[in-house]
């Protein structure tokens, strides 16, 4: 029951963070979504197809490495993607300065991802990869996510030459900090 409540709460946090704060100001998210957007911008390949193709090897790796991570990631991806789409009417309801949206959106998403990872659930992609790396190296998954997301955003800035994307660094920093904090204090039970 605890895992289900965490999954629901976390999915809502991610959906609210994306739809209310990040998507309206057109920032690049880190992770597989960010990579997929970059590929679309450069080569015109559809985002959904790219996301599936990039996720397949990560999911196969998790299936080989730890079946519970694989099944939890499928569950996390199903819940998160459904709730993100369900909350899409929130897009554009809040009009804040870009810096405020980047910070609040990043923190909200980070809280959702952080609590998911505490329960060994992942919304998939880079988060699943971070969970697998964390399990085998004892590196906090928030640090792994932050490093990968930073590379994706830097690539986006270089490829797209859009300085507005610098605000994406603030977003992924907030995500990373929240995930690190939530996963550093596992003895404190919030959910």
The count of structural domains within the chain is 1
Distance, C-alpha 36 to centroid of its chain: 13
pLDDT at 146: 85
Which residues 6+ apart lie within 8 Å of 100 measured at CB? none
**What count of Cα atoms within 13 Å lies in the side-chain half-sphere of residue 77?**
19
Q: Would you say residue 103 lies in a domain?
A: yes
Computed from CA positions of residues 24, 26, 29, 35, in that sequence, does the dihedral angle turn out positive or negative? positive
Q: Would you say residue 172 lies in a domain?
A: yes
Q: Which tens digit of pLDDT belongs to each residue from 151-190?
A: 998 888 888 787 778 898 899 899 989 999 998 876 666 5
pLDDT at 158: 86
- Of 148, 139, 125, 126, the C-alpha closest to 183 is 139
**Predicted structure pTM score:** 0.84
Count other Cβ atoms within 10 Å, centred on residue 106.
28
CA distance 31 to 91: 20
Token pair of 148, please? 């990968």
Lowest mean pLDDT among 53-62, 84-93, 154-163: 154-163
Q: Would you say residue 132 lies in a domain?
A: yes
CA distance 81 to 48: 12
What value does the mean pLDDT take over residues 107-133?
88
Q: What is the span of the domain harbouring residue 144?
A: 2-184
pLDDT at 189: 63
Q: Would you say residue 97 lies in a domain?
A: yes
Q: Would you say residue 189 lies in a domain?
A: no
DSSP 25-55: GTPPPSHHHHHHHHHHHHH---HHHHHHHHH
């Amino acid at each position: 029951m605890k895992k289900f409540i965490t999954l629901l709460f976390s999915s809502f946090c991610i959906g609210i963070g994306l739809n209310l704060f990040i998507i309206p100001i057109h920032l690049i998210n880190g992770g597989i979504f960010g990579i997929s957007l970059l590929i679309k911008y450069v080569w015109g390949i559809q985002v959904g197809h790219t996301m599936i193709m990039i996720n397949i090897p990560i999911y196969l790796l998790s299936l080989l490495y730890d079946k519970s991570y694989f099944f939890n990631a499928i569950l996390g991806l199903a819940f998160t993607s459904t709730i993100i789409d369900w909350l899409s009417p929130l897009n554009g309801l809040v009009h804040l300065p870009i810096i405020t949206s980047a910070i609040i959106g990043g923190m909200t998403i980070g809280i959702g991802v952080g609590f998911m990872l505490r329960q060994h659930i992942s919304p998939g992609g880079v988060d699943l990869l971070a969970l697998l790396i964390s399990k085998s190296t004892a590196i906090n998954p928030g640090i792994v996510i932050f490093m990968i997301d930073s590379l994706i955003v830097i690539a986006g800035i270089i490829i797209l030459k859009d300085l507005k994307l610098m605000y994406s660094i603030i977003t992924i920093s907030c995500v990373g900090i929240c995930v690190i904090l939530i996963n550093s204090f596992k003895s404190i039970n919030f959910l």
